[in-house]
Amino acid sequence: MLGRLNHVAIAVPDLEAAARTYREKLGATVSDPLPQPAHGVTVVFVDVDNTRIELINPLGERSPIAAFLEKNPSGGIHHMCFEVDDILVARDQLKSVGLRVLGDGEPKIGAHDKPVLFLHPKDLNGTLVELQQA
């Protein structure tokens, strides 16, 4: 069911500094910051040969990333995103085997302008998993 790894998201306390590290020290191609008000984050995409890294930083006081950074002030891996061919079919299959979908269970448009869902980390060894329609 899972397709390719689309990205690994890393919550960072300083988006500009993190982007500079990937660009200047690691030689990666780094996007400009993209505010995502619907998700309460600003993202920067780091392109690597086989996937992307998504640097995420809180946008606004009610950002879900703010709580993560309170617990992890230096930042850290927030979630992994896998592509699926049909997000509704994947959702229904995963729910049928007991995995919980966060929120209302309906896909939202993610930072890549594609439908996404998140799976409860307690069902996946403590890892927040995002599914994105390919």
16's tokens:
């500009």
With b meaning 16 or more CB within 10 Å and e meaning fewer, what string describes 62-73?
A: ebebbebbeeee
Distance (Å, whole) CA 58 – CA 41 = 5
Of 24, 54, 70, 130, which residue is the catalytic one?
130
CA-CA distance, 18 to 62, in Å (whole number)? 22
Q: Cβ distance 11 to 69 under 8 Å?
A: yes
Which tokens in the block code for residue 122?
A: 């307690």
Active-site residue 130, yes or no?
yes
Q: Which residues are catalytic?
A: 130
